[in-house]
Amino acid sequence: MAENEQPIPGDWQRAALEAARLGEALVLAVRQGQSGLVETLVAPESAAGWSVRLFGLALLRLDLRLDDPREQNQLKPYDLQIEPGMALLELGVISTLEVGREETPAERPHLTRLFGSSLALRQAPGSEYGWLVEEVLPANSNGQLRPNDPTDAQIIAVHQGKTALPLRLETLDEVEKLFLGKMQGQAGKFNLEELYNAARLWQDFLKDSGADELSFIKSQAPAEWAGGVEYLITVFDYHQADPDELGVLYGITAETLTDHARELAFTLKVTQFDDRYSIHPDPVGHYRALFGELGINPKRDDKLMEARRKNIFNSIEEVPSDDDTFFGPG
């Protein structure tokens, strides 16, 4: 141990060992195609959880780089940054580096640091390893994705929605199959996080609906709800949403589409910058929080939002100029 290095407290040391074991277990399970096991290792409602539900193990396999010829079944944990409740476990490929005879030993492990991935972990007392995987990140903390690298280029294209992954159809209902398929069919318009948000919005809507509402929902054609979901996600993410064009895409009228979008928005009490379903922050969110801290109740703003909700967002912000540089969930 280096002179200035502090010993890891016993509980932290155990947590670190368990985090490494979780990383090894995830890599092995994904490599062997054990979907059921992987589902026990990822956190529910997390980016990793949604990726497994929507795409099976295909996205995890891509982001872990298990099909890259440089991986050669050697991907292993090598570094851990740990804080209370969360951690970043870095994975890498170890190769042998021969050094001069003056060095001892003659050979030592050497890490190819720019080839690897990382796991964002959430502490989960009671789980097998004490941690669950929150997200699989396709790069190490000191690395970056390079568009001229074949594996990196594929990762970027998939996360930006320019290349579609096959959906895990057995886990999806008819509405999800429809809007996810239609959204994927518009290459480059919706990235992966927007697909997760669309699925989350629909599942939240079902959870927030009572028995009578669920009966009504099931009586409607899947296209009517699917069109409403895509309309809202389009609006949340600053794209122009044309009800007529979307209606044609889903084979329904523009009026039917906006009626169902209103029902979704009313039930979930959403706004255009709702952080549950939008990849963009509310531009006045900071001031809303500040007003609350100061004991100010911005009633005028509440009335404005209520009026906008009734009109289901008639005005849409333009897509930010750097939107196409976004490669995946943050």
**105 cis-preceded (ω within 30 degrees of 0):** yes
Least trusted range by pLDDT, from 21-30, 98-107, 251-260: 98-107
Q: What is the mean pLDDT of residues 215-223?
A: 91
Q: What is the mean pLDDT of residues 91-113?
A: 57
Least trusted range by pLDDT, from 4-13, 152-161, 263-272: 4-13
Angle between helices 192-208 and 222-236 (to 10 degrees): 120
From the list 47, 52, 196, the residue with the least C-alpha distance to 134 is: 47
Integer angstrom CA distances of residue 217 from 79, 120, 269: 48, 36, 18
65 vs 326, which has greater pLDDT?
Answer: 65
Instruction: Say if CB 258 and CB 312 are below 8 A apart.
Output: yes
Distance CA 196, CA 135 (A): 13
Phi-psi domain of 120 (left: phi exceeds 0; alpha: psi -120 through 50; beta: other): beta
Does the pLDDT of residue 232 top 90, yes or no?
yes
pLDDT score of 121 = 97
pLDDT score of 20 = 95
Q: Do 10-159 and 172-325 agree at the fold level? A: no
10 vs 156, which has greater pLDDT?
Answer: 156
CATH of 172-325, one of 1.10.3720.10, 1.10.472.10, 1.10.3210.10, 3.40.605.10: 1.10.472.10
pLDDT score of 279 = 81
Does the pLDDT of residue 310 top 90, yes or no?
no
Least trusted range by pLDDT, from 81-85, 99-103, 115-119, 231-235: 99-103
309: confidence class by pLDDT, cuts 50, 70, 90: very low
Distance CA 73, CA 67 (A): 9
> CATH says 10-159 is which class?
alpha beta
Burial of 52 (0-12, 13-18, 19+ CB in 10 A): buried
Distance CA 123, CA 298 (A): 38
Token digits for 210? Answer: 């009572």
Q: Where are the chain's structural domains?
A: 10-159, 172-325
Amino acid type, 30: V
Token digits for 279? Answer: 């990849």
Q: What is the mean pLDDT of residues 216-239?
A: 90
Does the pLDDT of residue 313 top 50, yes or no?
no
Of 7-21, 145-159, 301-315, give the range with the top mean pLDDT. 145-159
Query: In this prediction, what percent of the chain has a pLDDT beyond 70?
Result: 75
pTM comes to 0.79
Instruction: Return the HEC string of 53-94.
Output: HHHCCHHHHHHHCCCCCCCCCCEEEEEEEEECCEEEEEEEEE
Of 36-40, 111-115, 271-275, give the range with the top mean pLDDT. 36-40
Does the pLDDT of residue 271 top 60, yes or no?
yes
Distance CA 176, CA 199 (A): 7
Does the pLDDT of residue 304 top 60, yes or no?
no
pLDDT score of 118 = 95
Does the pLDDT of residue 317 top 50, yes or no?
no
Helices (H), the chain: 10-31, 35-41, 47-55, 58-64, 150-159, 174-184, 192-208, 211-219, 222-236, 243-250, 254-268, 285-293, 299-310
Tell me the per-residue pLDDT of 114-164, one tens digit each, with 9 for 90 and over.
578 999 999 999 999 999 999 999 998 877 888 999 999 999 999 999 999
